[in-house]
Structure 1
Amino acid sequence: MSFTKNDRTFPPRRLRGEKAMMQSGVITSDMVAESVSSALRSAVSGLSAPGKRVARCVGKNARTIRNIMEGANAPSAATLIQLMREFDEVHEAVLCLADRNSVKPSGLDNHRIQQIMSILSGGEHAEINTDPDPRLARTISSQKP
């Protein structure tokens, strides 16, 4: 299959404007395309026909995936979510773009973790909240045997 002469061409990137956007925290579609592209290429490196395999995996056209892998296009929201589901590298790249390098547990989760650690370390009496809604909280009392 040959490429058409009317394929999209993009104007050259303006380096100064891009640096200013990075410093202000603005995420551009070029940044998303580059980040997802590199993550996806590292995820499927070493496979034969990686574009076709990824396309089958997420249910998209091979040309669409090839454009994403080359960094020509940023994926649509639905495609990005599917790629994040299938490839941990893409998931991590998107979290880095959002300045969320790891998902942190909430305060309620931290409280439950502390309660469980108390039980496991042999605490006398601990209560575990099994329902996330405190109004409907059921507690389980456990005592040291």
Structure 2
Amino acid sequence: MSSTQNVRKLRSNHGRTLLPHTSAPPADRFPEAVAGALRREFGAVPGAVKQVVRITGANERAVRNWFEARNAPSGENLVALMGRSDEVLETVLHLAGRQDLIATRRLSGARDKLREMLAMIDDIQTG
């Protein structure tokens, strides 16, 4: 072995070390979490797969694999799903450790429903 090859194997002990990000989900947990969110949002019926195919434009077999937690959607498909599915959005936020955003989103939704209810009460009282 030449000296240049030996030098390539040596690594500096100085500099930055990358610490593992503790809030990241284990690789095997992510597909399961997304599959659960898809089943909660779209159901576990054959029509659900076709609906997700229409949303994402992904291959039907790939979408079936998402529902069965064999693998997870790509970034582009995940973004499309998060745009259409509250369950998928909340699951990804939960896995990212962003419970604060989940609570904010739910609070905003509750306020909107309360406004609708108050408007209905006003209509009943005046009508």
Give the TM-score, by structure 2 length.
0.58
Alignment coverage as a number of residue pairs: 83
Distance 1:67 1:91 in 2: 19
1:54 aligns with 2:56: no
In the other structure, the counterpart of 1:90 is: 88
C-alpha distance after superposition, 1:30-57 (max 9, x if no partner): 1110111000111012755110111012
Larger RCO, structures 1/2 (Cα 8 Å, 6+ apart): 2
More strand by share: 1
CA distance in 1, matches of 2:70, 2:44: 21
CA distance in 2, matches of 1:88, 1:27: 19
Paired with 1:85 and 1:102, the residues of 2 have a C-alpha distance of 19
The share of aligned pairs that are identical, in percent, is 37
26-35 or 55-64: bigger deviation: 26-35
Q: Unaligned stretches of 5+ in structure 1?
A: 1-20, 106-145
SS in 2 for 1:72: coil
Name the one with the larger helix percent.
2
Aligned match of 1:117: none
Q: Kindly report the root-mean-square deviation, in angstroms, between the aligned alpha carbons of the 2 structures.
A: 2.2
TM-score (normalizing by structure 1): 0.51
Unaligned runs of 5+ in 2: 1-19, 105-127
Q: Does 1:44 align with 2:19?
A: no
Task: Give the corresponding residue for 1:33.
Answer: 31
Q: Which runs of 4+ in 1 moved over 6 A?
A: none
